[in-house]
Structure 1
Amino acid sequence: MRPFSLSRRRWLAGGFALAAGGAAMAASRRPWLMNPCRATLPDELAHHELVQAAWEGLDPAQVWDCHAHLAGIGDGGSGVAISPTMLSPLHPLQYLQRLFYLNAGCAHEASGRVDQSYVERLHNLMEGMAPGFKLMLFAFDQAHDAEGRAQPERSAFFVPNAYARDVARAAPQWFEWVCSIHPYRPDAVAALEAAAADGARAVKWLPPAMGIDPASPACDRFYDALVRLDLSLITHVGEEQAVAGAGHPEWGNPLSLRRALDRGVRVVMAHCASIGEDTDLDRGPNGPRVPSFDLFARMMAEPRHAQHLFADISAITLRNRKLPVLRAIIEREDWHPRLLFGTDYPLPGILPLVSPAQLAAEGMLDAVAVPVLEAVREHNPILFDLALKRHLHSGGKRLATTIFETRRFFSRTPT
């Protein structure tokens, strides 16, 4: 998750530092800023030709959103935990991020039942999707030190595997789940085996925040277990702008995942490394800084990674992405068989982050689609993200249908 660019971070930190609570009240009076959290999609939108066209050519039962976050504050016995700084107006940026995240998930006004309200909103959204469509809900492990000891004080948030599993099990018609296990943990392999037995479809990492160096030999036993269990690794690459934690930005370098790939792990690089810069390690540890996306593109071109390197398209439409990057993802049809649909929910529900009008002005979206998509977003950000990506175009190209039918990739049983 990465909702804010550096400039937006500074604007928020400066503009809201005096009184985060007052800023939240001001934001609530601006409908363009806060998600109105409307309920069921009206019939005129549900049956609009643009919305219907988003499903054309797709088998909804094969469409799994492979990048969706569970969130909460731990008020419902879930075991979820968040950093105290996100609860304190004395840390205005992180405090406001929490408000925006929970508003996007429509749990911001649910005092005493935030966790439950977040899940209830997910149920509401899934009722508005075509039957068979599913979300893959992420757990999120704590940061750990080099000896594998948990560091809750350095963890932005924590979503237990058991919670993600139980939310998915309670509504199997709508949800799958993705475990999150720090590879340095002494019990990492045993925990992975248990998660696989409980139906986990993949593993989620955010190395810069969780304190994971993907190039470390300490990960090898975990990589070998992933291969043995036929589980994919969905891992953040590029700059991380939203989640504080262990503080190692260099561990988001796409090149650091060569170790996992060379051991046979199927790696899904989240967001196609669509933001930030990293050291070009192929030119040495002191190599030049280059766009993370360029390193991702280099690895996608290497034959030795062709069977194991994949990426998801979550967050690629956020306003802090450069349009040439988005255009490249759409136009590189040779990449499409290795790209996977994801929304990064709840981010599509944060209204300022995605601008259909800007994409239309750039010739990447038909202008008539803008008001329809914006209306859909107020009711169902997941459907909004799907429809937006289905209607994007650049250079006469569109994202291939196969990108959206992700079940083929994550299902370990015949479909």
Structure 2
Amino acid sequence: MNRRHFLLTGLGAGALLGLGGTASARQRVWNPCRAVLPPAIADHDLVHAAWDGIDAARVWDVHAHLAGTGDSGAGIRMNPRMLSPLHPTEYIQRLFYLNAGCAHAAPGRVDQSYVERLHNLADGMRPGFKLVLFAFEQTHDAAGRPRPDLTALHVPDRYARDVAHAHPAYFEWACSIHPLREDCVEALEAAVRDGARAVKWLPPTMGIDPASPACDRFYAALARFDLPLITHAGEEKAVAGAGRPEWGNPLRLRRALDHGVRVVVAHCASLGEDRDEDSRKGGKVASFELFARLMAEPHAEGRLFGDISAIALRNRHTDVIRQLVAREDWHPRLLFGTDYPLPGILPLVSPARLAADKLLPATAVPVLEAIREHNPLLFDFVLKRTLRAGAHRFAPGVFETRAFFDRKTP
């Protein structure tokens, strides 16, 4: 079983559903959603060191999710399975995600409280910091028809746009458009006019084969607007959908690169295995290995990037984290992202494990854990700024992502 899938279903089930979980277990699983950092933590040397040499106005979190239940009437939809204890996997995932976003205790205003919490967390960063908030397209079938029955979560473009426009000091937004929609190019043009900074895909969930010729007209439009595509690659178990797992293979992104699209591989494909489509044997290899192969291809220079969201989750091999930190030649092509709200799900990231593997100093562990209880965004930023692989650390440019979203095409 996928370890992330296990953590979101088994580890916290007792505590969340009251099925025998102790108070201490709940404390280890349930985010306390505390507010302002205590002065001793806010002024800690570790926090100051994380911001040292960084221009906060150039730090954009390139991977942040909007979520909710749809109670705002703004169009968010959750699959009914996520609302029913009869489907424990989806039900518990929803509880975790909303708790991580501190929206679990606000019946009737979950959508609003999720955004308010994001606003507060961004306010707890240095001035100028922003998040790129993702819309999330619903699943479509091969004919380009929407399939709400197979969609776990739908966050419409207009919702992400309106949230970002309401709080321009803190938020930018990324649209999410299925390339098989008949109106996909028109929808992209509208999103560009409305200030979208990128397009977000999760191919296996949304029902997108990135290697299909049917995507070509959308790729051509992306290249024309020079709008980056931020797309998941590697294994995905957290969100159900109608697609096929092999559509997350990093090698299937070559078609987008060949069209001149700037592609950001979410999480650097750091989880799972995919078929080696370049080999006649076709055996499976680590998805991260296929990502590394793409990074080395000449035509990918200046077009292929990776975001470092989710790389510190428990289900990632620490050798992958070590490689990412040590590959300084990659750093100009790596982008800081948190995959919010995941950093707020306590069981998913273990600073102590990273310290045991010599990626963090042991003294950083209690400070990071204290930060996480108050501000998961700051927790993720400080953790990644503190990561070490021998003498290597992530370069400041990995975090100063603002310029990446400047388009050559007006």
Normalising by the residue count of structure 2, what TM-score does the alignment of the two structures yield? 0.96
Alignment-derived partner of residue 356 in structure 2: 361
Change (3 A) 1:61 1:186: same
Q: Which amino acid aligns with 2:70?
A: G
Q: 1:242-276 CA deviation, whole Å, 9 max, x = no partner?
A: 01011411000000000000110000000000010
Percent of residue pairs identical: 67
Alignment-derived partner of residue 407 in structure 2: 412
Q: Which amino acid aligns with 1:50?
A: L
Alignment-derived partner of residue 202 in structure 1: 198
Structure 2 residue 341 is the aligned partner of structure 1 residue 350: no
1:283 counterpart SS class: coil
Q: 1:331-356 CA deviation, whole Å, 9 max, x = no partner?
A: 11111110000000000000111111
1:398 counterpart SS class: coil
1:412, CA displacement in angstroms?
3.1
Change (3 A) 1:223 1:323: same
C-alpha separation in 1, matches of 2:7 and 2:307: 29
Alignment-derived partner of residue 119 in structure 2: 123
Alignment-derived partner of residue 281 in structure 1: 277
C-alpha separation in 1, matches of 2:379 and 2:119: 16
Change (3 A) 1:126 1:273: same
Alignment-derived partner of residue 380 in structure 2: 385
Does structure 2 retain, via aligned residues, the 8 Å contact 1:27–1:34?
no
Structure 1 window deviating more from structure 2 (236-245 vs 38-47): it is: 38-47
Does structure 1 retain, via aligned residues, the 8 Å contact 2:9–2:93?
no
Does structure 2 retain, via aligned residues, the 8 Å contact 1:20–1:95?
no
C-alpha separation in 2, matches of 1:413 and 1:282: 33
Q: 1:203-251 CA deviation, whole Å, 9 max, x = no partner?
A: 0000000000000011000000001111000000000020101141100
Change (3 A) 1:49 1:255: same
C-alpha separation in 1, matches of 2:23 and 2:181: 41
Structure 2 residue 285 is the aligned partner of structure 1 residue 290: yes
Change (3 A) 1:236 1:132: same
1:52, CA displacement in angstroms?
1.1
Does structure 2 retain, via aligned residues, the 8 Å contact 1:16–1:92?
no
- Equivalent residues in 2 for 1:85-164 (5 A)? 85-164=81-160
Change (3 A) 1:15 1:383: closer
1:153, CA displacement in angstroms?
0.5
C-alpha separation in 1, matches of 2:141 and 2:282: 27
Alignment match of 2:221 (pick from 215, 222, 225) = 225
Q: 1:127-175 CA deviation, whole Å, 9 max, x = no partner?
A: 1110000000000000111111100011110000000000001110000
Q: Which amino acid aligns with 1:44?
A: A
Change (3 A) 1:386 1:13: closer
1:22, CA displacement in angstroms?
2.5
2:86 counterpart SS class: coil
1:93, CA displacement in angstroms?
1.2
C-alpha separation in 2, matches of 1:281 and 1:322: 23
Change (3 A) 1:131 1:227: same
Change (3 A) 1:145 1:315: same
Alignment-derived partner of residue 375 in structure 1: 370
Alignment-derived partner of residue 305 in structure 1: 300
Structure 1 window deviating more from structure 2 (334-343 vs 13-22): it is: 13-22
- Equivalent residues in 2 for 1:179-218 (5 A)? 179-218=175-214
1:26, CA displacement in angstroms?
5.4
Does structure 2 retain, via aligned residues, the 8 Å contact 1:135–1:175?
yes
Does structure 1 retain, via aligned residues, the 8 Å contact 2:12–2:29?
no
1:6, CA displacement in angstroms?
1.8
Change (3 A) 1:167 1:283: same
- Equivalent residues in 2 for 1:389-400 (5 A)? 389-400=384-395
C-alpha separation in 2, matches of 1:318 and 1:66: 17
Alignment-derived partner of residue 169 in structure 2: 173
Change (3 A) 1:337 1:19: closer
C-alpha separation in 2, matches of 1:135 and 1:17: 30
Does structure 2 retain, via aligned residues, the 8 Å contact 1:148–1:185?
yes
C-alpha separation in 1, matches of 2:110 and 2:24: 18
Change (3 A) 1:198 1:283: same
C-alpha separation in 1, matches of 2:35 and 2:12: 30
1:21, CA displacement in angstroms?
3.1
1:79, CA displacement in angstroms?
0.5
Does structure 1 retain, via aligned residues, the 8 Å contact 2:14–2:21?
no
Alignment-derived partner of residue 74 in structure 1: 70
Structure 1 window deviating more from structure 2 (14-23 vs 308-317): it is: 14-23
Change (3 A) 1:24 1:98: farther
Alignment match of 1:262 (pick from 237, 258, 273) = 258
Change (3 A) 1:51 1:181: same
1:53, CA displacement in angstroms?
1.0
Alignment-derived partner of residue 338 in structure 1: 333
C-alpha separation in 1, matches of 2:402 and 2:3: 37
1:287, CA displacement in angstroms?
0.6
C-alpha separation in 1, matches of 2:120 and 2:19: 29
C-alpha separation in 2, matches of 1:16 and 1:225: 44
Q: Which amino acid aligns with 2:109?
A: R
2:140 counterpart SS class: coil
1:42, CA displacement in angstroms?
1.8
Q: 1:268-315 CA deviation, whole Å, 9 max, x = no partner?
A: 00000001000111124x611111001001111111211211010000
C-alpha separation in 1, matches of 2:287 and 2:374: 34
C-alpha separation in 2, matches of 1:402 and 1:34: 33
Q: Which amino acid aligns with 1:367?
A: A
Normalising by the residue count of structure 1, what TM-score does the alignment of the two structures yield? 0.95
**Could you list the runs of 5+ residues in structure 1 that have no partner in the other structure?**
none
1:399 counterpart SS class: coil
